[in-house]
Homo-oligomer: A and B are copies of this chain.
Amino acid sequence: MANVLTPQGEDFPRWYQDVVAKAQLAENGPAKGQQVIRPTGFALWERMVDEMDARIKETGTENASFPLLIPESYFRREADHVEGFAPELWTVTHAGGKELEEKLAVRPTSETIIGEYMAKWVKSYRDLPLLLNQWCNVMRYELRTRLFLRSSEFLWQEGHTVHESYEDAHEFTLRILHDVYADFMENVLALPVLRGIKTEAERFAGALNTFAVEALMRDGKALQMGTSHELGQNFARAFDIQFQGKDGQQAHGWTTSWGTSTRMVGGLIMGHGDDSGLRVPPRLAPVQAYVMVVKDSDEVQGAAKQVFDELKSSGLRVKLDHRADVAFGRRAVDAELKGYPVRIEIGPRDLKNGEATLVSRVKGVKETVPLGMLAEAVAAALEGDQQALFDEALERRERLTADAATVDEAVEAAQTGYARLPWDACGVEGEQKAAAAGVTVRVLQREDGSVPDSLDEPGLIAYLARSY
């Protein structure tokens, strides 16, 4: 089969553009940096939402919905926050043909407007913790945009919580990082992630500490997959979120916020995709098994329908391709492009032997399987491929991670992956020097790989990389 994609080794960014277009994942919108997410791409996001939402609810967090438009004055209440976000705002000035008294910003994130309501709802320690999340769209003005990775509008979830104490808020921030974000990314997306704390330069505007999960893409660049912020009492003070404590005293709450977005679709593409297209991990895949007729005949169509029904009733997500009027080769290439984990080809030759051909997208293995054993064989292939994708990504990350002793060494090593550098040997100055060379500190970890409580801990290790 002819290459429909630019090979990754030739031009990775071009490969990415090709996959997004050819697998019909997304297109540019009419206004700057906006995106149209097509059904194939959106189905990936829908599955992410399902899996993430279940994990978010497990923490006791409830979903809600806050307004799209935020009065500009809200931003000004938290000094760091307004400084960080003011340059990125999209602004509504008119409605119903008239100029508004106060300009409204399309939300770039909702700490401010949610803070305003939290202040009304939180009166007593009995109201805490208050755990909220919303799935919505946000907009940030961007000069250089790339579909899924950096767009003016994107879809995301943003969690916002209030707690009684620093300890409670800190613990919850890390619970989201580990039990929701990292768990979803490693066990469903099959992408190993580095968990750590961000430097001051990379911290969320208005936060005390930002924690993040970062995945390594196949070109050796890092992608921030999600962040969880400890906001201290900064927003509680700015929005007057106070409660009466068990001791009868009024106190400001401790808030957190945390988000993941359609950017994860970009991470999925670049973390697993190969020269034939996407490779979607089975646990995520909207279509786990793709049942195709090879040629047209009543017998083939009947058998394909039967296999489809059988796999569907075994609980798998299955799609039936009965379009015998479209060339088989074209449909097979399209199935590879879209990364369906398992393809089942039903043709007259196999059928004569009571068999079908099973093709694994991850391993590229073709095998003929007796029809009666298909459900089992598909389940085994899916299980194996989920693990194989994770193992491959982990092995790649380990191979592309190098120890460095100086900033210069780290910048050099970061050309192909992660550089591990003692934070003492880097520091804010080293960070600036690396940044000038296009390399940033992605996260800081403890020596043993665990997540530090703050930047003040001694002996931290910095992971530097080029990034998206």
Given contacts A30-B113, A106-B92, contact A137 B68 (CB under 8 A): yes
A36: Cβ under 8 A from any B Cβ: yes
What per-residue 1/0 map shows which CB atoms of A53-97 lie under 8 Å from chain B? 000000000111111111100100000000000111111111111
Given the complex of chains A and B, what is the CA–CA distance between A71 and B32 in angstroms?
Answer: 11
B31 A71 Cβ-Cβ under 8 A? yes
B37 A65 Cβ-Cβ under 8 A? yes
A39: Cβ under 8 A from any B Cβ: yes
A27 B117 Cβ-Cβ under 8 A? yes
- Count of this chain's copies in the oligomeric assembly: 2
Q: Separation in Å of the A130 CB from the closest CB of chain B?
A: 10
Given the complex of chains A and B, what is the CA–CA distance between A27 and B114 in angstroms?
Answer: 12
Given the complex of chains A and B, what is the CA–CA distance between A278 and B126 in angstroms?
Answer: 25
A94 B95 Cβ-Cβ under 8 A? no
Interface residue SS majority, chain A: mixed
A96 B87 Cβ-Cβ under 8 A? yes
B36 A62 Cβ-Cβ under 8 A? no
Given the complex of chains A and B, what is the CA–CA distance between A39 and B63 in angstroms?
Answer: 6
Further contacts, 11 of them, CB under 8 A, given A29-B113, A69-B139, A89-B97: A30-B67, A30-B71, A31-B71, A35-B65, A35-B67, A37-B64, A65-B155, A86-B97, A87-B97, A92-B92, A126-B326
- 20 A-B residue pairings within 8 Å (CB atoms): A27-B120, A29-B113, A30-B67, A30-B116, A31-B69, A31-B100, A31-B104, A34-B68, A37-B64, A39-B132, A43-B63, A68-B137, A87-B96, A87-B97, A90-B95, A90-B96, A91-B95, A92-B93, A95-B152, A96-B141
